[in-house]
Amino acid sequence: MRREAAIERLRGALWVMPTVAVGLALIAGSVLSSITIDPASSLAPLVFQGTADDARNLLIGIASTMVTVIALVLGLTVVALQLASTQFSPRLLRTFLRDLVNQLTLSSFVATFAYSTAGLYTVGISGGERTTDYPRLAVSGALVLLFVSMIMLVFFAHHLAHSIQIDQVMADVEKTTLHVVRESLAPGDDTTPRPEIPEAATPLLANGSGYVQTFHLEDLVEVAAHHGACLAVVPMVGEHVIVGTPLGWAWSKTDRTSPLSAEAAQSLAVGLNRGVRLGFERTAEQDAAFGVRQLADIASKALSPAVNDPYTAVQAVDHLSVILAALATKPLGNQVLTDGQGTPRVHIPARDWAYFIDLGLGQVRRFGHTEPRVVLALLRVTRDLGTLCHGPRMTSLREYVTVLLDDVKQDITQPADRDPLLERGNRLLSDLAR
């Protein structure tokens, strides 16, 4: 799990790839400097043809240009981050920092600067004296890197203009969340209740504070089975934990009235803290609700009086519908891990269908129920989800539509706006019931 956490941090770090690029550029420069091109070779016309002073001036010019370009790129990146934070949602900054194009662009510029600057130590200088010999192939490499950097600059401007468009931002969030739903979301059961914790249960305290990023509790099942214990985890993925508070509760499987031994409690506490990864921020590794929250935030901000952009809210609802449709066919709810004999050992709380409906559409309903276009979008999404659901999940949809129509009745006073919405909503309720 430490390796997984390190990879997750490195993917969101803007300095890692440029640092690696600098190292590779210095190695490439050292290798190319040791290669001598014979004047009679067919490659001789392709290498740099100027004098040693020309080569030094070229490297100085490239290094100076790269400093200016790097400052420009960093400035544009900061502007994009600020725009994403203020206009869309502060939880989207992580998406921009992890953008591969941004990291590659900065890496190419930094590598070109390091390559050209390091070349100044060898071009035209040998043993502290001026010389006319210099590694022509290495200088030609600086020219190649310069052209690559210019191409990357144009591509970066194109990519940045597209990446800050709200349509692209929401599409990226949708894609990431769908990947979590299909690949990382652990199956649960809507009908599985939380276990009843006995009074003699032992609290397993958290060793640190932060947001729950991932669960890896497979090894904890063996520890619980070894001590004949059952365990209930307290937080869900994405929730915040405070150091010293119960991260879980443990009790004996055979004797619920007696506390566990100190040895068993200690082993379970160590295993639980090892299996629950905490961090200073939420991540989308196992947290499908995080992506739903991002899209709901975009819709809510678009519906605020300061922005007043209902169409963006409708677009966010459309993207939410794709995620909710994927969740509609997944087994959601609390999870139970069993040992080799099928005995339940570890109970993990998880979000059910009703939670995702309220998280994704409830906030939009509260902020946008006075705008007919937003209401129509919510009714359309509910209708589409109704074709994928059955049983209790259909009941959650009917309850949501009922509350939505109640809000419309109370807060839309113009009959020309209110009555068509109520008519469509009542027809949808009939369809869902049937």
Q: What is the CATH number of the domain that holds 288?
A: 3.90.1170.30
The pLDDT score that the predictor gives to residue 290 is 94
Domain's final residue, options 300, 320, 351: 351
Which residue in this structure is represented by tokens 């992890």? 98
pTM as predicted: 0.85
- Number of other CB atoms surrounding residue 169 within 10 Å: 25
Range of the domain at 293: 189-311+330-351
**Is residue 319 included in any domain, yes or no?**
no
Lowest mean pLDDT among 41-50, 122-131, 241-250, 358-367: 122-131
Domain's final residue, options 164, 199, 224: 164
Q: What is the mean pLDDT of residues 114-136?
A: 75
Q: Is the domain of 133 the same as that of 263?
A: no
Residue 238 near residue 282 (C-beta atoms within 8 A): yes
Can you tell me the distance from the alpha carbon of 401 to that of 394, in angstroms, rounded to the nearest whole number? Answer: 11
**Is residue 416 included in any domain, yes or no?**
no
Q: Is the domain of 139 the same as that of 216?
A: no
> Residue 243 in 3-state DSSP?
coil
Q: Is the domain of 8 the same as that of 124?
A: yes
Residue 236 near residue 301 (C-beta atoms within 8 A): no
Q: Is the domain of 124 the same as that of 16?
A: yes
Q: Is the domain of 138 the same as that of 32?
A: yes
Domain's final residue, options 320, 351, 382: 351
Can you tell me the distance from the alpha carbon of 344 to that of 363, in angstroms, rounded to the nearest whole number? Answer: 36
Q: Is the domain of 11 the same as that of 147?
A: yes
Can you tell me the distance from the alpha carbon of 151 to that of 57, in angstroms, rounded to the nearest whole number? Answer: 22
**In sequence order, what are the beta bridge partners of 407?**
none
Can you tell me the distance from the alpha carbon of 105 to that of 70, in angstroms, rounded to the nearest whole number? Answer: 9
Q: Look over the chain and give the mean of its residue pLDDT values, rounded to a whole number.
A: 90
Asked if residue 130 has pLDDT above 70, the reply is no
The pLDDT score that the predictor gives to residue 76 is 82
Asked if residue 239 has pLDDT above 80, the reply is yes
For the chain, what is the total number of helices (H) and then of strands (E)?
16, 10
Residue 287 near residue 237 (C-beta atoms within 8 A): yes
Q: Is the domain of 222 the same as that of 344?
A: yes
Q: What is the mean pLDDT of residues 275-301?
A: 93
Per-residue pLDDT reduced to its tens digit, 84-106: 777 777 777 777 777 888 889 99
Can you tell me the distance from the alpha carbon of 314 to that of 428, in angstroms, rounded to the nearest whole number? Answer: 19
**Is residue 296 included in any domain, yes or no?**
yes
Q: Which residues contact 26 (CB under 8 A, 6 or more apart)?
A: 114, 115, 118
The band of 391, judged by pLDDT with boundaries at 50, 70 and 90, is: confident
Q: Is the domain of 132 the same as that of 216?
A: no
Q: Is the domain of 127 the same as that of 234?
A: no
Asked if residue 386 has pLDDT above 90, the reply is yes
Cα–Cα nearest to 272, from 229, 312, 315, 301: 229
The pLDDT score that the predictor gives to residue 424 is 95
Written as one letter, the residue type at 351 is: R
Q: Is the domain of 138 the same as that of 197?
A: no
**Is residue 149 included in any domain, yes or no?**
yes
Residue 355 near residue 291 (C-beta atoms within 8 A): no
**Is residue 363 included in any domain, yes or no?**
no
Domain count, the chain: 2
**Is residue 414 included in any domain, yes or no?**
no
Q: What are phi and psi of 277, to 5 degrees?
A: -95, 125
The pLDDT score that the predictor gives to residue 77 is 79
* CA distances for 433 relative to 172, 405, 424, angstroms: 35, 16, 14
- Number of other CB atoms surrounding residue 369 within 10 Å: 23
Q: Is the domain of 344 the same as that of 203?
A: yes
Written as one letter, the residue type at 59 is: L
**Is residue 402 included in any domain, yes or no?**
no
Asked if residue 425 has pLDDT above 90, the reply is yes
The band of 45, judged by pLDDT with boundaries at 50, 70 and 90, is: confident
Residue 99 near residue 173 (C-beta atoms within 8 A): no
> 285-294 burial, b for 16+ CB within 10 Å, e for fewer?
bbbbbbbbbb
Per-residue pLDDT reduced to its tens digit, 147-206: 999 999 999 988 888 888 888 889 999 999 999 999 989 899 888 888 999 999 999 999
Q: Is the domain of 306 the same as that of 229?
A: yes
